[in-house]
Amino acid sequence: MTQPSRVGRHDTSDQRNDEAAHAELRPIAPSPRDPVQAPRRGEPHHSRHLSLEPGDKHDERSTPSSHHDIPEAHRNLDDIAVNRYKDENLEDARTHDLEGRTGQGRSASDGNGLSAGAQDQHKPSEGLQVSRLATQIYTVSYLILFSFLGTLARLGLQWLTNYAGAPVFPSVWFNFGGSVVMGFLAEDRMLFRHEWGTPTYEHQIEKAKRDEESGGGSGDSARPAVDLAAAKKAHLATKKTIPLHIGLATGFCGSFTSFSSFMRDSFLAVSNDLTYGSSSSSSSSTTTAPRNGGYSFMALLAVIIITVTASLSGLIAGTHLASALEPVTPSLPFLATRRVADRLAVLLAWGSWAGAVVLAAVPPADHWRGVAVFSLVLAPLGTLARFYLSQWLNGLSPAFPLGTFAANVLGTAVLGMAWDLQRVPLGGGGGVVVGCQVLQGVEDGFCGCLTTVSTWVAELAGLSRRRQAWVYGGASVVAGFAVMVAVMGGLRWSHGFATLMCIH
């Protein structure tokens, strides 16, 4: 009679362990955007549409090893909370690969099924207390630093792809490239594998595998699969609280892509002013042949179709790239990132911003100031404005990310005004050239970083209903184009665009 008693105590202990494990995954509940639960093993999938899922909610209690005080508003950052594009064959291959690696790790494990290294990683990092203020400083510093890198990458790619005989307008290139990086970050599970000091995702995979092997037919056969799905969502939700990941997704990808440039090209296509293949995409040194309104409408559709499809394709390509490179993708060490990289980012970000301001005030050459310096001075302002708009507004409506929508429409309006002011004769004063360069910095720096395509397409792919995606995407394009017509149309169809007075 003692043997059943031991079994009962063992079952009670296992049950408590399972309850504790599920308590860590407690915040992963079906959100209003995705009310349907994950299908059980063996059940058919009825939908193959994109499943990048913005707005996953995450409770800091689900990461007990975290010593950062995470701001509550970080939950609303859709561009870093997106789920990955779910492809059944891609996910099956990843699952088999992960099972193979966890099987190798268990070959040197003890009776609990965890290797010595994994047991050490289970222990929370001690002595690393970071306040809410420090977390916000690190996050803002990463946003500033990566806004510089994203702006320079966008301007550089724009210049590289703006050549004589170019088959497509330059804005397609950086919107596609930024979407690829966004898809990679959304799908990747290796760069931030250690999360806040404990690789919870890998531990859940090991636990589910052990339960599947040891439990046999006594338990619910679908439970390991459900645990894995919850662990994946928990890992994606945890990544959005890491300052470095916020900098990469919101800072770099958001600054690399530009919704305002997309809307500018859409208007220029209608007005028959979309010229490229010259020294600058904003230059009007080349002319176009006259055409009727029907051709202008077709040109508008071409710009919209090419940009949206290329960006969505880039997002999906990024997820596949992350899965293909997972075996060779390194993991960022937790302590080195927290103690070295975070503090170094503060010095680099604020020092670089101060240096850009000095170069704008006392430039070594006028050419440098017109090309990039003013853009770098204003780029962090656009990135930070978009970041806080997402925090404040994206949580208001799960079906319509209002923060991203407001940032894109506002940035489009500002770009239209700067474009008009550049092309209106203001007199022959000596400050005309400098003023024109400042306006170009507003367009490329502030507006380019305030608006984003990578986040926009990630949200389109992540909305749980196709109707919501069509409404949100259509409203963004219609509102942005309407703003451009209202701001730029009056000058274009009354006096026309004058020649630029600055070199950029």
Per-residue pLDDT, 240: 80
Residue 478 has a pLDDT of 98
pLDDT at residue 64 is higher than 80: no
What's the pLDDT score for residue 33?
41
Q: Which of 77-86, 114-123, 132-141, 327-336 has the lowest mean pLDDT?
A: 114-123
Q: What would you report as the CA-atom Rg of the chain, rounded to the nearest whole angstrom?
A: 25
Lowest-pLDDT range, 216-230, 337-351, 377-391?
216-230
Quick: pLDDT tens for 426-481: 655 455 778 888 999 999 999 999 999 999 999 999 998 999 999 999 999 999 99
Mean pLDDT of the region 384-391: 96
State how far the Cα of 272 lies from the Cα of 289, in Å rounded to an integer: 8
Q: How far apart (Å, rounded) are the C-alpha atoms in residues 171 and 174?
A: 6
Q: Given pLDDT bands bounded at 50, 70 and 90, which one contains residue 238?
A: confident
The answer on pLDDT for 364 being more than 80 is: no
Average pLDDT over residues 409-426: 91
pLDDT at 109: 38
Are residues 286 and 277 in contact, defined by beta-carbon separation less than 8 angstroms?
Answer: yes
Percent of the chain with pLDDT over 70: 61
Task: Look at residue 388 and tell me whether its pLDDT is greater than 90.
Answer: yes
Distance CA 187, CA 235 (A): 11
| pLDDT at residue number 131 | 76
In the chain, pLDDT over 90 holds for what percent of residues?
A: 43
Q: Which pLDDT band holds residue 502 (cuts at 50, 70, 90)?
A: confident
Mean pLDDT for the stretch of residues 153-181: 94
Mean pLDDT of the chain: 75
Confidence of residue 244 (pLDDT cuts 50, 70, 90): very high
What pLDDT, on a 0 to 100 scale, did the predictor assign at position 270? 94
pLDDT of residue 471: 97
Question: What would the mean pLDDT of 258-277 be, rounded to a whole number?
Answer: 92
d(CA 170, CA 310): 12
pTM of the model: 0.74
Q: Would you list the DSSP string of 49-114? A: S----TT----GGG-TT--B---GGGGG-HHHH------HHHHHHHHHHHHHHHHHHHTT--TTS-
User: Of 255, 89, 94, nearest to 102 (Cα)?
Assistant: 94
Q: For residue 410, how many other CB atoms are within 10 A of its CB? A: 19
**Cβ atoms within 10 A of the Cβ of 210, count?**
17
- Tell me phi and psi for residue 458, to 5 degrees: -65, -40
The pLDDT score that the predictor gives to residue 291 is 85
Domain boundaries, the chain: 131-187+239-494
Q: What is the mean pLDDT of residues 306-313?
A: 97
Higher pLDDT among residues 267 and 75, named by residue:
267
